[in-house]
A and B are shown apart, each in its own frame.
Chain A
Amino acid sequence: MDKTGSPTKGLLTGTPQRNSRVWFLPAFLWLFLLIAVPLAFVFLLSLARRNPAGETDWVLGISNYVRALDPLYLWIYWRSLLLALATTLICLVLGFPVAHFIAQQPSARLRNLLLFLVTLPFWTSFLIRTYAWILLLRTEGIINNALVALGIIQQPLPLLYNNFAILVGLAYAELPFMILPLYTALERIDKSQIEASSDLGCTASQTFWRVLIPLSRPGIIAGVVLVFVPSVGAYLTPDLLGGAKSIMAGNLIQNQFAVVRDHPFGAAIAFVLTVVVLALLAVSHRTTREHTELRLL
């Protein structure tokens, strides 16, 4: 049944389907087998322990969690969240004008071309693109050399192996994931609603805040989620572009699994991270209700 109470129509036949619930089965199985089950396994693993020989002892306890919540690690999680938040904000600020510009183009061909250009980076290896940033940001890199040559600075700037470089790398990588959902939402907006807002006395900036943003909210939320979540757990970017002092949660987990070989501890950290992100998503989902202009009436 759909929202109006009438039976849902089959996708291929258009005739009312009575047992439409059965079509949920593949998606449900997929969710269950590929997400719920591995997550459960990770949780189970996190309760185990690493014995001195480097293998997993299935002696269940929460000692890993106690350790994972040590202030040292808490600081790393916190920084990861902050960096992810900063990345999201940067992508939002940079991506919105781009998405808006593309959505405004009257020619469909031009729009498609611009969208293609936005996704063009994905045609090359992410690793190579990240290395390219190293070339740009190094002390003897392209940017520093240019700035010194132009006389703008005397000493090269420390652009690499710090939080700044991580932000640049993450924002660059995630930007298309912000632009595309924003574009989809903006493209749907009826131009006459924007005109109506202007007609009723709103300047461009007022129309932006009172009409454009609320109407593109689904796109904003989608973009924020698509950028924030991967950024929290980012591993490659902080590994290549960050320094020893700027490791993120992803590096921590990878370190446990690949170097230290303490899988249960790594699993615990991973699970903490997962729970925190899910909690944040749940909170943001609940607070983004219909925010109408309540003050006035």
Chain B
Amino acid sequence: MPPVLEFQDISKSFDRQSVLRDFSLSVDPSEFLTLLGPSGSGKTTLLRLAAGFERPDNGKVVLRGSDVTHLPPYHRRVNTVFQNYALFPHLTVAHNVAFGLRNLKLSKVEVHSRASAALDMVQLANLSDRLPHQLSGGQQQRVGLARALVMQPEVLLLDEPFGALDQRLRQQMQQELKAVQRRLELTFVFVTHDQEEALSLSDRIALLHEGRLDQIGSPDQIYNWPASRFAAEFMGIPNIFPLSGTKPEGVGTRCQLKTGETFLVTSAANGNQARFLAVRPENIRVSRASLPHGKSNNVIRGRVRQARYLGSSILWSVEANHLTWAASEVVNGGTDMGSVSLEDEVFLSWEPSRGVLLA
């Protein structure tokens, strides 16, 4: 199916600072795509280019096959949910939601029914006569969502909509949002810097780094198989070690750390140009018993220096050959404090299929 929204070779600078460079991306119909990245990576700019609040210096924005690059926002069939809600303070909830409908030349009956349906969908029907300042943050954001949804846009753009909410409310709103998206089969483009949010909501994640598309893939792919050092760091992998060289070995690659150790990695990507090795802590086992180092297992010996109790797991910091490895161990609650202790000499092991080679 043709993409519903496309960015083609977009470049954009502000005050001579380049924010996006030759950026291209396609958004598929009915997908929940998240633009993920640190501040300044260009993700909000991209959203604003799609909405029409900015024009690119170069490149095109294409909506359902039509070039909308130079169309003003009011001529584009996209709508935005703003981070600070941007509700109209002088209008009630009902009038806020119906605001855009007036521009569609609908009958009074249809305006009323569409607005009511939208309010029902965000569970605010009973507050329709309130003014924005009488609502909580979560309620205000729901109004903002209803106001945009009621316009039935081709793409809904959401700019860190839950940024100002507390953790529990955030998670609740995330679930509600996902349910709405699934139900309406709308295309959502969602901007966030929170990787957990991105992982839990998205069909695909586009990882942005300094105005470029670093990696795009499913949450599983981005989480388990980051392609670059930036991606691995951003997705929270602490074990990233520079390599001095790689060599094909069997179906995989034997890589050598700058500090000398060698490991076998059998995951698919980046065999020859790899510069770093990354392994997720949850994929590393820690034990006092010695383990064989060989084709089915990568093992390294070290000493436990730190322990971080995280509730459902313990994060061990193990010093091995002047490097610090992080290994995560699930604990069973109660008084389970893990299988090793501080200052123990331990063996870390991980399977070759769990290593990630980074460019």
Contact = CB atoms under 8 A, between A and B. Distances in A.
Contacts, number: 85
* Count class of interface residues, chain A: 20 to 34
B84 A198 contact: no
Interface in B146-199: 147-148, 151
Contacts of A201: 74, 100, 103-104, 151
B216 interface: no
A71 B208 CA distance: 78
A297 B98 contact: yes
Contact of A293 (B87, B95, B103): B95
From B91, B112, B151, residue with most partner A Cβ within 10 Å: B91
B86 A193 contact: yes
A195 B51 CA distance: 10
A297 B73 CA distance: 25
A67 B78 CA distance: 68
B230 interface: no
Contacts of A199: 51-53, 73-74, 78-80, 100, 148
A125 interface: no
A143 interface: no
A196 B95 contact: no
Question: A-side binding surface: helix, strand, loop or mixed?
Answer: helix
Contacts of A195: 51, 53, 73, 80, 82, 86
B140 to A, nearest CB: 12
B95 to A, nearest CB: 5
B191 to A, nearest CB: 14
A90 interface: no
B contact residues, range: 20 to 34
Interface string A253-296: 00000000000000000000000000000000000001011001
Interface string B52-80: 11000000000000000000111000111
A198 B74 contact: yes
A210 B147 CA distance: 16
A190 interface: yes
Contact of A297 (B74, B84, B88, B115): B115
B102 interface: yes
Interface in B70-128: 72-74, 78-80, 82, 84, 86-92, 94-95, 98-100, 102-104, 108, 111-112, 115
12 contacts: A190-B86, A192-B84, A193-B88, A198-B53, A199-B53, A200-B100, A200-B147, A201-B100, A203-B72, A296-B108, A297-B111, A297-B115
Interface of A: 190, 192-193, 195-203, 206, 210-211, 214-215, 217, 290, 292-293, 296-297
Top 5 A-B pairs ranked by shortest CB distance?
A: A200-B100, A201-B103, A192-B86, A196-B86, A198-B73
Given A193-B86, A200-B99, 13 more contacts: A192-B84, A195-B53, A195-B86, A196-B87, A198-B53, A198-B72, A198-B73, A198-B74, A201-B100, A201-B103, A292-B95, A296-B95, A297-B111
